Amino acid sequence: MQKFEKFHFHGQHSGEIIIKIIRRHWFNILEQYFILIGLLILMIASLEVLPMYFMENNDLPLFFFIESFLAILIWIYASVIWIDFYF
């Protein structure tokens, strides 16, 4: 166990030793991003298709506001996935 002596973690008590360090596989983060990629494709498609249904243009600013808000939520969720993977 000599190679793990330099590693310490928060909450480790004296006398405890690290036997093995396990890290997540890169596919774990990729499978979480598949959902976000699907949502982004739907959002881009809706930006192309849905404004055609708002011919009066009264609801168009509300539509773009909702799209922008959803894009920010997706961006925040992607950041949380990224931070959770590395920390």
Q: Each residue of 2-21: pLDDT tens digit?
A: 676 677 777 888 888 888 87
Tell the residue number behind the tokens 């920390």, with chain if given: 87
Name which residue leads in pLDDT, 73 or 24.
Answer: 73
Terminal alpha carbon distance of the chain: 24
Q: Under DSSP, is residue 36 helix (H, G, I), strand (E, B) or coil? A: helix
Q: Whole-angstrom Cα distance, residue 84 to residue 87? A: 5
73 is a domain residue: yes
Q: Which domain holds residue 51?
A: 24-86
Whether 75 and 40 have beta carbons less than 8 Å apart is answered as: no
Please tell me the predicted confidence (pLDDT) of residue 79. Answer: 94
47 is a domain residue: yes
Q: Each residue of 29-77: pLDDT tens digit?
A: 899 899 999 999 999 998 888 877 776 777 788 888 999 999 999 999 9
Tokens coding 71? 């894009």
Domain count, the chain: 1
pTM exceeding 0.75? no
Please tell me the predicted confidence (pLDDT) of residue 57. Answer: 74
